[in-house]
Amino acid sequence: MDNRLIIRGGRPLYGDVKISGMKNSALPVIFGTIATGDVCTIKNLPDISDISLALETIEMVGASVRFIDTSTAIIDTRKVMMKSPPLEYVSKMRASTYMLGAMLGRFGRAEVGYPGGCDLGARPINLHLKGFETLGARITYSTSGMITCEAPIGLKGNFVYLDIASVGATINVMLAAVLAEGTTVIENAAREPHIVDMACFLNACGAKISGAGTSMIRIRGVESLHGCTYELAPDMIEAGTYMVAAAATRGRVCVKNIIPKHMESVSTKLREIGIPVEVQDDSITVTGLEGFRGTEIRTNPYPGFPTDMHPQFSALLALSRGVSRVFEGIYPERFRYVPELNKMGANIEVIDGSALINGVETLHGAEVKASDLRAGACLVIAALAADGVTTISSIEYIDRGYEDLVEKLKFLGADIKRV
């Protein structure tokens, strides 16, 4: 039987929680170390299963990884070879696609299987590949599911327009372009904090990237990169998840070690429904209250409301006084959490790519199943706020993205255990 979380709800969360490093920049940084062909020390790595898998994947192509404490790894990619990582690794993780950009830049050739990851509906990588082609690479596909990118005489900087401000495509093109000849400009680039973190890491390795965090990124190609010591930014989605959990349980939680600017859309929505949010220099305190209102949310690329906070917010709004609507602008199929929340007494209908949420007084414990990482986080929040006991199965999804979830929640007073 798989691991489960058992949560006895109804206890308000109180206290401080320290937020870990950002999963979605740790992953490209790990794969990005390949482009350096040198030794990098990466600090503030979250201890989650996606990071272990990413590190194992680069070890499969010749990298060596040594932890000097729980969150600091020394990654040596000098002996990495131009070979494809085993399909069973890449098929589990979306971020493995970053090996394409990193290897293409360093070796002029990359071959990686089609990436997997949380099932949120179709997740194509056509824009990553179109970007590589614009830099001069030739792309071929094999019937066995391999994608090969080749640029035998090297990549050449160019103007890359992204049809969608895709996080993955922006990072992958940036990764390939840092070692291209000449200048690349990415127009309609994604502006997420992970893009800025990744650009800062590459610049610390000798790259020349400007404009990260805006929709136009300029990359002046360099001959080679070198190793560096780099500390990852805090995880805005982990922080947002604890902020919402504080509100849903009517507790009071201070999320520490964060960048409050990254949290603006989440803080604004909490305030809008009547939940007090106090912002300090590198922490935010959320105080839950009875009788908060419903609202309307539209998920959008940063600085819009993050799609990765949508399911958690739905759990909160399920307990609001009033009607709410959550429109999903990134993943039209990100509603698999809805039937599970309804099993707990929520009243949510999915209509035309949005969740129509009629607030209820209370949720009750039930047996539910996580369908992906953030759907799992949504069920944890609902279970913490619900009356009675909830059992959540398929928690391997939650382990992909939340460091020490059980310990952190226990410290805040939750009655939670893993069995």
DSSP 4: -
Residues 270/286, Cβ–Cβ less than 8 Å:
yes
Residues 259/213, Cβ–Cβ less than 8 Å:
no
Nearer to ligand EPU, 100 or 348 (CB): 100
Q: How far is the CB of 264 from ligand EPU (least distance, A)?
A: 16
Distance between CA atoms of residues 342 and 107, nearest Å: 51
Among 323, 311, 317, CA closest to 378? 311
Nearer to ligand EPU, 159 or 276 (CB): 159
Residue number with the shortest CB distance to ligand EPU?
Answer: 168
Distance between CA atoms of residues 327 and 162, nearest Å: 23
Nearer to ligand EPU, 315 or 366 (CB): 315
In three-state secondary structure terms, 291 is coil
The site for ligand EPU (CB under 6 A) is made up of 24, 27, 94-95, 118, 122-128, 164, 166-169, 190, 192, 307-308, 330-331, 373-374, 401
Q: For strand 5-8 and strand 389-393, is the pairing parallel, antiparallel, or unpaired? A: antiparallel
Q: How far is the CB of 153 from ligand EPU (least distance, A)?
A: 25
| 118 is a catalytic site residue | yes
Residues 166/190, Cβ–Cβ less than 8 Å:
yes
Q: What is the DSSP string of 204-243?
A: HTT-EEE-BTBSEEEEE--S-----EEEPPB-HHHHHHHH
User: Which residue among 40, 118, 149, 228 is the active-site one?
Assistant: 118
Q: How far is the CB of 114 from ligand EPU (least distance, A)?
A: 12
Among 44, 5, 414, 4, CA closest to 229? 44
Q: How far is the CB of 46 from ligand EPU (least distance, A)?
A: 11
CA distances (Å), origin 40, targets 37, 77, 378 = 9, 8, 35
Q: How far is the CB of 237 from ligand EPU (least distance, A)?
A: 6
Residues 323/294, Cβ–Cβ less than 8 Å:
yes
Nearer to ligand EPU, 95 or 247 (CB): 95
Q: Can you tell me which residue has the tokens 């599911």?
A: 145
Nearer to ligand EPU, 31 or 230 (CB): 31
Residues labelled as active-site residues: 118
